[in-house]
């Protein structure tokens, strides 16, 4: 994972279900501040919802940091958890793979909805996901 570009514009702890909504709202606000188009925002916020739920369900909670990157202007989020990690990332990214209450479209779906997707996970070392999107 690359070093943080700057201080995050916002930070949301993922400890309970309602924090998933809090993360969506924080990302939505950050994109509004960039003048993001409705479809761009919906796609990115949906992807954030998927990975936030993933961090809560599989990672036992975590934290989402929201960054505003310049030149070109884009939003970046980093979601970290200290859960058990994902043993087989390729398999976890495949639609239909599910270990909990999702339909198994969550991670693969999130990757399709964003412009850049990076995942770093090792068994026992937690999972970090970074996603980026342009506002328009």
Partner 1 sequence: MSEAASIYTVDKVLLVAIRDNITDTDIINLQEDLSEKIVNESARGVVIDIAALEIVDTFVGRILAQLSSISRLLAAETYIVGMRPAVAMTLVELGMDLPGSKTALSLSHALRSLKAKGLA
Q: Which residues bind partner 1 (CB under 8 A)?
A: 17-18, 20-21, 24, 28, 38-39, 41-43, 45-46, 49-50, 53, 95, 101-103, 105-106, 109, 112-113
In the complex, what is the shortest distance from the CB of residue 97 to partner 1, in angstroms, rounded to a whole number?
A: 12
Residue 128 makes CB contacts below 8 A (sequence gap 6+) with 1, 78, 79, 80, 81, 119, 120, 121
Minimum distance from CB of 7 to partner 1 (Å)?
Answer: 26
CA distance 94 to 32: 31
Whether residue 73 contacts residue 34, with contact meaning beta carbons closer than 8 Å, is answered with yes
Beta carbon of residue 20, minimum distance to partner 1 (angstroms, whole number): 7
Tell me whether strands 74-81 and 127-133 are parallel, antiparallel or unpaired: antiparallel
Which residue number, 52 or 63, has a Cβ lying nearer to partner 1? 52
First to last CA, the chain: 25
Q: Which one, 4 or 83, has the nearer CB to partner 1?
A: 83
Nearest in space to 105 (alpha carbons), one of 114, 119, 113, 95: 95
Rank residues 1 and 25 by Cβ distance to partner 1 and give the closer one.
Answer: 25
Nearer to partner 1, 70 or 90 (CB): 90
Q: What is the closest distance, in whole angstroms, from the C-beta atom of residue 53 to partner 1 in the complex?
A: 6
| Eight-class DSSP state of 123 | T
């Amino acid at each position: 994972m690359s070093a943080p570009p700057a201080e995050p514009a916002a930070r949301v702890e993922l400890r309970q279900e309602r924090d998933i909504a809090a993360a969506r709202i924080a990302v939505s606000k950050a994109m509004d501040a960039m003048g993001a188009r409705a479809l761009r925002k919906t796609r990115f916020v949906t992807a954030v919802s998927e990975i936030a739920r993933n961090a809560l369900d599989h990672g036992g909670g975590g934290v989402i940091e929201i960054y505003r990157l310049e030149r070109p202007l884009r939003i970046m989020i980093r979601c970290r958890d200290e859960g058990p990690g994902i043993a087989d990332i390729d398999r976890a990214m495949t639609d239909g793979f599910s270990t909990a209450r999702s339909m198994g479209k969550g991670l693969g779906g999130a990757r399709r909805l964003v412009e850049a997707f990076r995942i770093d996970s090792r068994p026992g070392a937690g999972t970090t996901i970074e996603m980026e999107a342009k506002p328009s």
